[in-house]
Every structure is written in structure tokens, then in C-alpha cells.
């Protein structure tokens, strides 16, 4: 394997029986349909384990699915049978939604061989590949969490970035939400964006067949959004999930100085001491 963070459905199918490979079904219901049931109990890639983004998180904050403490994450991964040195392939049921968030979480916690299935479960099923509803039995493994603090941005760091311009802030939300022309799906949040932020809706990175765009088209999408691929980038979105899609794409393009604002707009837009810009002003 290479440092490229994506694997194809064919690659996964060819390696599905590898003893050091674990497939992870990343799950988080869309914010617009919070009660949507998980697909996993009825259909998943054979051997896949279930990772609920809303459960594997910090339960001591009101912000949605924030990173848990490293020791808590280690305990959770151990119980799931995910351990050090394994090759992890993450997919989700929408193609690209929560899988990049789980990929980013695992990498931020120290896992080295983590990949995302390009096109996810929709592409897998469309190609007629095997799936089942069996619950795998995995032996507990030791997972050593080593949080990479540089991969995670907090409120204070975003304030500093806006003030000193040391990093580019890139927002994955829709153009309408970014401009303040559409309401936020989470109640109680102001509409608009952070000062100095750029906007690249994550949907612009996905091809018609549900895979990532070719590398040259990805690069053009970022450049058209005003992003300098030679400079550091901090990604953000509504709650730190689709921001990881931008982070994943930037990793495909070889950008290394990347951070993700974990609180994202769920934090920034809920406060009365943060500046909010709209295109209607």
C-alpha cells in the first residue's frame, strides 16, 4: 500500500480475506434526518465492524461528536477488535459522508494504515459485490492512542488564525449556508461564515459515479475556491464531519499541513462572542 488515502472497491474485494485487514462501517445519520436507522444491521461488507460517530465521541460536551479522550478511544477500539499495526479500510453508506471523519479520527489518534473506500457502499453494491448481515466476532486488540494535536483545531486557534492569517480556513458547507442565505439545519445557530474563510462545498469533489474526482480535477476545485495548495489549511463545516472530506481530498493532493476544526459551525455559530460574516451585509 502507498500513502494514498483511498482504495478502490476492486482492491478491497481482492484483499477482503487478509488477516491484518479490518473493514469499518462508519455511521452517522444525516443532520436533516437524525432518526434515520443504520444500514449495518441489514447489510454491510462481509466482516465489517460498526463505528457510530455519535457514540464514539466526547460525551461531556454539548457539541456534537467531538473527539473523545485518547484513553476512551483506545478502550473503544480495543472492544471493537481494532488494534495497532492493522490495515483499516473505512466506508459509509452514502459514498462520502462519515467515512472521512472516521478516517481522520483514527489517523489523529495514531493509526497509520487507514484508508477510505472510494465510492463507499453504494459503489460496492452497484458492482454486485458481496454483503451480508452477519455480526463478526473479533478478538479484543490493543490500540495505542497517540493524539496528534496538530491535526485538531480548537476555538482559540481559529481566533488566532483569523487574526494572524497563518492558515487558510476552508468551509465545506453549501454556498447558501456559507453566505448566510440558508438557515443552519441545527437550531440556534447563526447563519454565515467565519471572517477570512473560503468556501468549497464538499459535493463539488464527488464525481457522478460517487467516487472522488480525478486528482487534476480535485486540484482545480481547490484552486477555483481560492485555496493555495502550498500553504497550511484548516478545514471546517457544520460539525466537523464533512470538513474531513476536504481534509481527505487535500491529503490525496499531497498537502500535509492540515488541521480540522472539531467544533466547526456548531460551536462558532452558537456563540455570541464570535464574528459572523454574511454575503447579505
Q: Are residues 31 and 239 in contact, defined by beta-carbon separation less than 8 angstroms?
A: yes
Q: Are residues 232 and 88 in contact, defined by beta-carbon separation less than 8 angstroms?
A: no
Handedness of CA 233, 176, 53, 23 (dihedral sign): negative
Q: Name the one residue in this structure whose C-alpha cell is 458481496.
A: 130
Among 179, 163, 183, smallest CA distance to 171 is for: 179
DSSP H or E stretch at residue 50: strand 49-52
SS3 for 263? coil
Going by DSSP bridges, is the β-strand pair 152-153/114-117 parallel, antiparallel, or unpaired?
Answer: unpaired
Q: Name the one residue in this structure whose C-alpha cell is 464527488.
A: 206
Q: Are residues 261 and 158 in contact, defined by beta-carbon separation less than 8 angstroms?
A: yes
| Residues with active-site annotation | 237
Please report the DSSP string for 150-196 in residue order.
GGEE-HHHHHHHHHH--SEEEE-S-HHHHHTSS--SSTTPPPSB-TT
Q: Which three cell numbers stand for residue 149?
A: 494535536
Residue-level length of the chain: 281
93-114 residues labelled b (16+ CB within 10 A) or e (exposed): bbbbbbbbbbbbbbbbbbbeeb
Amino acid at each position: 500500500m502507498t500513502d494514498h488515502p483511498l482504495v478502490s472497491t476492486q482492491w478491497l474485494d481482492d484483499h477482503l480475506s487478509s488477516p491484518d485487514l479490518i473493514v469499518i462501517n462508519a455511521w452517522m445519520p444525516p443532520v436533516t434526518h437524525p432518526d434515520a436507522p443504520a444500514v449495518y444491521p441489514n447489510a454491510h461488507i462481509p466482516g465489517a465492524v460498526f463505528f457510530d460517530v455519535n457514540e464514539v465521541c466526547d460525551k461531556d460536551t454539548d457539541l456534537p461528536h467531538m473527539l473523545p479522550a485518547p484513553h476512551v478511544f483506545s478502550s473503544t477500539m480495543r472492544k471493537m477488535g481494532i488494534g495497532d499495526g492493522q490495515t483499516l479500510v473505512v466506508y459509509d453508506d452514502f459514498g462520502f459522508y462519515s467515512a472521512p471523519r472516521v478516517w481522520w479520527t483514527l489517523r489523529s489518534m495514531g493509526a497509520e494504515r487507514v484508508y477510505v473506500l472510494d465510492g463507499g457502499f453504494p459503489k460496492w453494491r452497484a458492482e454486485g459485490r458481496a454483503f451480508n448481515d452477519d455480526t463478526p466476532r473479533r478478538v479484543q486488540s490493543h490500540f495505542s492512542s497517540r493524539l496528534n494535536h496538530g491535526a485538531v483545531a480548537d476555538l482559540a486557534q481559529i481566533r488566532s488564525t483569523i487574526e494572524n492569517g497563518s492558515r487558510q480556513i476552508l468551509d465545506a458547507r453549501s454556498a447558501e449556508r456559507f453566505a448566510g442565505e440558508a438557515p443552519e439545519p441545527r437550531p440556534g445557530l447563526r447563519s454565515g461564515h467565519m471572517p477570512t474563510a473560503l468556501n468549497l462545498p464538499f459535493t463539488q469533489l464527488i464525481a457522478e459515479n460517487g467516487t472522488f474526482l480525478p486528482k487534476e480535477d480535485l486540484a482545480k476545485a481547490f484552486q477555483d475556491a481560492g485555496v493555495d495548495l502550498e500553504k497550511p489549511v484548516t478545514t471546517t463545516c457544520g460539525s466537523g464531519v464533512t470538513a474531513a472530506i476536504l481534509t481527505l481530498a487535500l491529503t490525496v493532493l499531497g498537502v500535509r499541513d492540515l488541521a480540522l476544526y472539531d467544533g466547526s459551525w456548531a460551536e462558532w455559530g452558537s456563540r455570541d462572542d464570535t464574528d459572523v460574516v454574511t454575503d447579505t451585509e
